[in-house]
Amino acid sequence: MSKRTSRLSGFATLSREKRLEILTDWIDNGDDATGALGRLDGLPDDLVDRMIENAIGVMPVPLGLATNMIVDGKDVLVPMATEESSVIAAVCNTARRCRSTGGFRTSYAGSLTIAQIQLLDVADPHRARLEILRRFDEIKAFCDDIDPVLVELGGGFQDLDIRLLSGRKGVVMVVHLIVDTRDAMGANAVNTMAERLAPVLGSWVNGRPLLRILSNLADRRIVRAEAVWPAAEIGGPEVVEKMLDAADFAVIDPYRAATHNKGIMNGVSAVVLATGNDTRAIEAGAHAFAAQSGQYGPLTRWEKTASGDLAGSIEIPLSLGIVGGATRIHPVAQLALQIMEADSAEKLSCIVAAVGLAQNFGALRALATDGIQKGHMALHAQNIAITAGAEGDEIARIAEAMKSSGDINERTATRLLKELRE
Ligand SMILES: CC(C)(COP(=O)([O-])OP(=O)([O-])OC[C@H]1O[C@@H](n2cnc3c(N)ncnc32)[C@H](O)[C@@H]1OP(=O)([O-])[O-])[C@@H](O)C(=O)NCCC(=O)NCCSC(=O)C[C@@](C)(O)CC(=O)[O-]
Ligand SMILES: NC(=O)C1=CN([C@@H]2O[C@H](COP(=O)(O)OP(=O)(O)OC[C@H]3O[C@@H](n4cnc5c(N)ncnc54)[C@H](O)[C@@H]3O)[C@@H](O)[C@H]2O)C=CC1
């Protein structure tokens, strides 16, 4: 039986053993799950060799827990795999500040995955388009036959979209297969459909099929998350205004929007990686979506509520699975899903979107008030101390000394270490 506290204050100050104890209480079968985590320094050799080619080892990335998150009325601990300091602290801090308004509310558009078939040299593209649409039922049956599991689960082929684009040698016909891939990201499923269907389409329209691959612009898998931060929780009306101005910068300037979205992806990619999902697919989709209007823009929106509080929302395409890819074979990915109780792609996606929004709030608040260095560099100071050669107790002492001096850099760390050792 899990013993969930409403807010995990001071989690960062606990030892790793104590944090694992809390996690063990939090999840069902906690002993088995966290025991496995304690034993795992890497991955079994045979798994590493099967997952990728030419394997020589593993590249461990720290796994942390974001606390204080309420998503759709439920307290959730979120596992995040990241090499960057302050990312997880920012989520914990942000989530704490919107608990009084109920945390994050989300919605999910569905798990429709798009596969593209490129058809070249089609003699009469407009007639060809009608011909393909006329054979909709045939195409549906053909695709569903390829992945009956998806059909059994209520998914499978749903729709067709046919676009005529202007290519280097004339009109290029692009056929989109729109497939409900349920709890899978669905790349392998839709790629197989596209590869098998392409020659059939080519023969119907007398065209030359070339590429047959999914699109990472997953704009039929949009997830939305929103939350309200009371002005009193974030430093008052002045901070609300500053954060709105900071957010507006990303709306008007793509140079800023890229950094704004990078901050969002700090959180999104960390949860995606922790669950064994494809970080590159998510990153590509998010950035392509951010540019869909023709100007690259922010993935979040910020506004002031009638009562002067700060309301934020995010819309982001998330092509995530809880089956398929590495999600089922990687033991940490399995544990991560268990910790979040993410038993569907929908639940996972909603949590990921909420973390993206939280991350953006954390960065905007820091940037609009103290600046990023204060919080981020304070947490990064220990890494700098290690880079300068500090070991054991020296690491914390050098980090503290750098924070007090306000000079957090390798030169200072090297000087302080020399002084300490002398
Ligand atoms: C770093 C904080 C959170 C400090 O913020 P603070 O207000 O000084 O924190 P605090 O020490 O008063 O603690 C308050 C709460 O914050 C959390 N917290 C505080 N410290 C920790 C910690 N060590 N580990 C875990 N949680 C922590 C924790 O929830 C804690 O509550 P408690 O548990 O004590 O009741 C804040 O300054 C912050 O959010 N900064 C922004 C950090 C950030 O965005 N980092 C991302 C890296 S920078 C980047 O790549 C993206 C960027 C910035 O360029 C994006 C952009 O430009 O938009
Ligand atoms: N451009 C891209 O993003 C590309 C990505 N990939 C890779 O493809 C992998 C993901 O492919 P998937 O097709 O998701 O994996 P997959 O093929 O391993 O698993 C998906 C299959 O699992 C079965 N299944 C069982 N239970 C299911 C459920 N509840 N919901 C849905 N399906 C269920 C279905 O038959 C489904 O087709 C990732 O590793 C990704 O890196 C591959 C090619 C291109």
Q: CB-based contacts of 152: which residues, under 8 Å, 6+ apart?
A: none
pLDDT of residue 20: 86
Binned at pLDDT 50, 70 and 90, residue 33 comes out as: low
For residues 184 and 327, what is the distance between their CA atoms, to the nearest angstrom? 9
Binned at pLDDT 50, 70 and 90, residue 41 comes out as: low
- Over 70: is that where the pLDDT of 178 sits? yes
- Over 60: is that where the pLDDT of 2 sits? no
Q: Do the strands 105-108 and 112-120 form a parallel or antiparallel pair, or are they unpaired?
A: unpaired
Which pTM was predicted? 0.94
Q: Judge whether 376 counts as a catalytic residue.
A: yes
Q: Judge whether 394 counts as a catalytic residue.
A: no
Binned at pLDDT 50, 70 and 90, residue 380 comes out as: confident
Token look-up 């990153």 returns 283
Which of 92, 249, 260 gets mutated to test ligand 1 (max ligand atoms within 8 A of its CB)? 92
Binned at pLDDT 50, 70 and 90, residue 70 comes out as: very high
pLDDT of residue 400: 92
On average, the pLDDT of the chain sits at 94
Percentage of the chain lying above the pLDDT 90 cut: 80
pLDDT of residue 5: 58
- Annotated active-site residue in 75, 278, 309, 315: 278
Q: Is the CB of 362 under 6 A from ligand 1?
A: yes
Q: Is the CB of 201 under 6 A from ligand 2?
A: no
Q: Are 185 and 113 in contact (CB under 8 A)?
A: yes
Percentage of the chain lying above the pLDDT 70 cut: 96
pLDDT of residue 6: 63
Q: Is the CB of 179 under 6 A from ligand 2?
A: no
pLDDT of residue 38: 64
For range 125-154, the mean pLDDT: 98
Q: Which residue has the higher pLDDT, 23 or 101?
A: 101
Residue nearest to atom 58 of ligand 1 (CA): 260
pLDDT of residue 419: 94
- Over 90: is that where the pLDDT of 263 sits? yes
Q: Which fold has domain 11-109+221-369?
A: 3.90.770
Q: Is the CB of 321 under 6 A from ligand 2?
A: yes
pLDDT of residue 8: 80
Ligand 2 center to 289 CA (angstroms): 22
- Over 80: is that where the pLDDT of 37 sits? no
CA neighbor of 271 nearest in space, from 124, 76, 102, 132: 76
For range 328-350, the mean pLDDT: 95
Hey, which CATH number is domain 374-421, 1.10.150, 1.10.3470, 1.10.8, 1.10.357?
1.10.8
Q: Judge whether 278 counts as a catalytic residue.
A: yes
> Any idea which ligand is nearest the CA of 113?
2
Q: Could you name the CATH architecture of 112-214?
A: 2-Layer Sandwich (3.30)
Q: Are 146 and 191 in contact (CB under 8 A)?
A: no
Which residue ranges make up each domain of the chain? Answer: 11-109+221-369, 112-214, 374-421
pLDDT of residue 1: 40
The pLDDT tens digits for 284-338 are 999 999 999 999 999 999 999 999 999 999 999 999 999 998 999 999 999 999 9
Show the tokens assigned to 336. Answer: 């991560």
**Based on the number of CB atoms within 10 Å of its own CB, is 188 exposed (0-12), middle (13-18) or buried (19 or more)?**
middle
Binned at pLDDT 50, 70 and 90, residue 45 comes out as: confident
- Over 90: is that where the pLDDT of 56 sits? no
- Over 90: is that where the pLDDT of 146 sits? yes
- Over 70: is that where the pLDDT of 111 sits? yes
pLDDT of residue 220: 97
Q: CB-based contacts of 154: which residues, under 8 Å, 6+ apart?
A: 180, 182
pLDDT of residue 42: 65
Residue nearest to atom 26 of ligand 2 (CA): 323
Q: Are 211 and 204 in contact (CB under 8 A)?
A: no
Q: Is the CB of 210 under 6 A from ligand 1?
A: no
Q: Are 310 and 228 in contact (CB under 8 A)?
A: yes
pLDDT of residue 293: 95
CA neighbor of 93 nearest in space, from 308, 369, 338, 349: 369
Q: Which residue has the higher pLDDT, 373 or 154?
A: 154
